[in-house]
Amino acid sequence: MRDRYVALICSLAAVIALVLLAAMPVAAQAPARSTEVGKTWTPPRTAWGDPDLQGIWTNANITPFERPKEFADRQVLTEQEAAEFEAQTNQRNSIDRPPPPGNPGGYNQFWFDRGTKTVPTRQTSLVVDPPDGRVPAFIPEAQKRADARAQYRRDHPADSWEDVSLFTRCLTRGLPGAMTPGFYNHNYQILQAPGYVAILVEMIHDVRIIPVDERSHLAPSIRQWMGDSRGRWEGDTLIVETTNFSPKAEYRGASTNLSLVERFRRVDADTIHYEFTVEDPTTWTRPWTAAIPMTKDGAPDRIFEYACHEGNYGIVNILAGHRNEEKAAAETARTKR
């Protein structure tokens, strides 16, 4: 068993090394032309002719995922409105607030890196379809599932480690969660090789290796936390379709019928237009789409390791705390007899 495990690790390392080696000569390829008024920007190409998306990108921004009620049917802010929203949000995010009674709290504001700007397009929400900027409602069956899941979590918050989220367990944020802004670690490194695109996600060190060689999806019986992704090029746009999601990696109440379509298109030297469309007719009343521009991160030349499992005392303390609560409840029940 140990020999097979070592062999598997070596094989994975070889694949990633090949991707890195194939990507290295491309750095000097076709420098992007500036987007001066009246000129059309020409996307760079890899040595084998694919649109070049490589580099380190960030999606850090303070645009709300869903549209706040105060913006009603407004899809875009004016420059002045965006500046005012940014100032108000940044001020709010700078204040440390005490946790509610009985809650030990978490990080203070020093540790967060949410960004300070709205997305470059000044969207009022990252959700762009439906037009109201809100995730569609659940169908009745999905609402029942959500209610049952919420009740189970209230009754069984930490019976075992499996009751704790995959995110807290440092396993994955799943998809499309791994591609959306969070609290910090908003960086992504894109590497390309002939027939493949690899995306290293800084948060929880997920690595997506996406074939773009027209192969078919895995058999429906094979389910994965990040699903099964297949890519193709349509002009300058990389389209990635992902299916075969595991029931252990639910996203916002979705079922295993979730289908995700992502689009990556480099629109200038410093920006990738990224959007994803979520479809699950057994969960939402209609498909919905979010658009999250990714901008070039000019500072780092690499992404440092996110060693989430190293010293991850959270799980130990969550389980130990719940065991203590169970003992206290049992002792209270015993003394009342």
Indicate whether 126 pLDDT > 70.
yes
Residue 3: per-residue pLDDT: 42
- Given a contact cutoff of 8 angstroms between Cβ atoms, the answer to whether 168 and 316 are in contact is no
Q: Tell me the per-residue pLDDT of 188-232, one tens digit each, with 9 for 90 and over.
A: 999 999 999 999 999 988 999 999 998 999 999 999 999 999 999
At 160-199, the pLDDT tens digits run: 999 999 988 888 999 999 999 988 999 999 999 999 999 9
Which is more confident, 214 or 310?
Answer: 214
Q: Do residues 172 and 226 make contact, with C-beta atoms less than 8 angstroms apart?
A: yes
Rounded to whole angstroms, the Cα distance separating 307 from 205 reads 8
Written as one letter, the residue type at 308 is C
User: What pLDDT, on a 0 to 100 scale, did the predictor assign at position 245?
Assistant: 97
Confidence at residue 15, expressed as pLDDT on a 0 to 100 scale: 42
- Angle (nearest 5°) at CA 268 between 267 and 271: 75
CB atoms within 10 A of CB 248: 14
Domain residue spans of the chain: 2-28+40-61+70-77+127-306
Residues 74-97, mean pLDDT to the nearest whole number: 94
96-105: pLDDT as tens digits: 988 888 787 8
Instruction: Assess contact for 249 and 223: CB atoms under 8 A.
Output: no
300 band by pLDDT with thresholds 50, 70 and 90 = low
pLDDT band at 39 (very low <50, low <70, confident <90, very high): low
Between 206-220, 296-310, 322-336, the lowest mean confidence (pLDDT) is in 296-310
What pLDDT, on the 0 to 100 scale, is given for residue 180? 96
Give me Rg for the CA atoms of the chain: 22
pLDDT tens by residue, 46-64: 999 999 999 999 999 999 9
Rounded Cα gap, residues 188 and 55, in angstroms: 8
**Which two tokens mark 152?**
């189970």
Alpha-carbon distance 230 to 243, whole Å? 9
- Predicted confidence at residue 67, as pLDDT, reads 97
User: What pTM was computed for the model?
Assistant: 0.85
Q: Give the model's pLDDT for residue 29.
A: 34
Whether the ω angle into residue 130 lies within 30 degrees of 0, i.e. cis, is yes
Residue 30: which pLDDT band, with cuts at 50, 70 and 90?
Answer: very low
Q: Quote helix, strand, coil % in the chain, to nearest 5.
A: 30, 20, 50
Is the pLDDT at 11 greater than 90? The verdict is no
Of 283, 201, 196, nearest in space to 247 by CA = 283
The pLDDT mean for the chain works out to: 87
Structural tokens at position 76: 């875009």
Integer Cα distance of 136 and 129 in angstroms: 9
Handedness of CA 251, 253, 257, 260 (dihedral sign): negative
Q: Which residues contact 59 (CB under 8 A, 6 or more apart)?
A: 179, 180, 181, 186, 188, 274, 292, 293, 294, 295
Q: Nearest-CA neighbor of 290 among 133, 77, 173, 175?
A: 133
215 versus 13: the higher-pLDDT residue is 215
More confident residue, 106 or 262: 262
Residues 6+ apart with CB under 8 A from 100: none
pLDDT class of 323 with cuts at 50, 70, 90? very high
Beta bridge partners of 237: 234, 265
